[in-house]
Amino acid sequence: MVPWASPTSTACTTSPVGCGRGATNTVARPIGRSNSADAWPAAAPIRSGSSSLAPDELRSLVAGRSIRVAASECLLGRHVRWNGEHNGDSWPRHRLEKVFTLVGICPEVGIGMGVPRDPIQLVGEESAPRVVAVDDPNRDYTDRLKGYASEVAGVLDDVHGYIFADRSPSCGLVGVKVFAEDGSFERVGRGVYAAAVLAGYPDLPAVDAETLNDEGVLLDFVLAVLASCGIAGADGHVRHVIREPS
């Protein structure tokens, strides 16, 4: 089952900076970068409404990677995990980068936890867990991680999908371990930052990176992102672009 809702209210604008989620469309940039030469390039215009693009229009759109998709920053090969490692090789990143510009976000680094850092875990109720340090439950990061979704709203307003790091207490979409107060494993839930993002953007196509290793999920996610931009009828071209070399 593909874990995202069908977009219902995310038609693209025709702003000259590309595919945005509102009347005011700003260029999304990586967290911490300034408006300079290393910032994300301006995106090409994308039509509004739901329609099929002519083959040359779709090729141009894909070639320019004009649609932005957020991703947990460790998934982009950046060494921001708690242990200083990354998850860039655990999913077909190179195939998504043929179609989209991937915008990296790490909420744990964003709230100042640093790299490397002490590991964290979910504790308490499945529906409303807290995020605490594994070795000190009094170090509670829950509110700061939830609040970070609001801090990066300027970026989230300009993306049309989100790829989350699997099983992360902050970013995991599904299947994140939730421990009881005594430290025993009880159930699974959702990372608190991921939950806050999807509470604010309930129609945003979202997926755990690991599931994109499934060919069907990968194609469905790409098409869902395109659909959120009002683009239909792209199946054949998308299959061609993201296919693995034989």
Residue with tokens 């994109």: 212
The residue type of 77 is G
pLDDT band at residue 9, thresholds of 50, 70 and 90?
very low
| Residue 177, helix vs strand vs coil | strand
Lowest mean pLDDT of 40-49, 118-127, 156-165, 207-216, name the range. Answer: 40-49
| Residue 48, helix vs strand vs coil | coil
pLDDT at 90: 86
Is residue 118 within 8 Å of 104, Cβ to Cβ?
no
**What are the extents of the domains in the chain?**
51-242
* Closest of 175, 173, 205, 223 to residue 72, by C-alpha: 173
Contacts (Cβ under 8 Å, ≥6 apart) of 190:
172, 173, 174, 176
- Structure confidence by residue, pLDDT tens digits, 171-187: 999 999 999 988 888 79
- Structure confidence by residue, pLDDT tens digits, 51-104: 455 556 666 766 666 899 999 999 999 999 988 888 888 899 999 998 899 999
Whether the upstream peptide bond of residue 169 has omega within 30° of 0, thus cis, is no
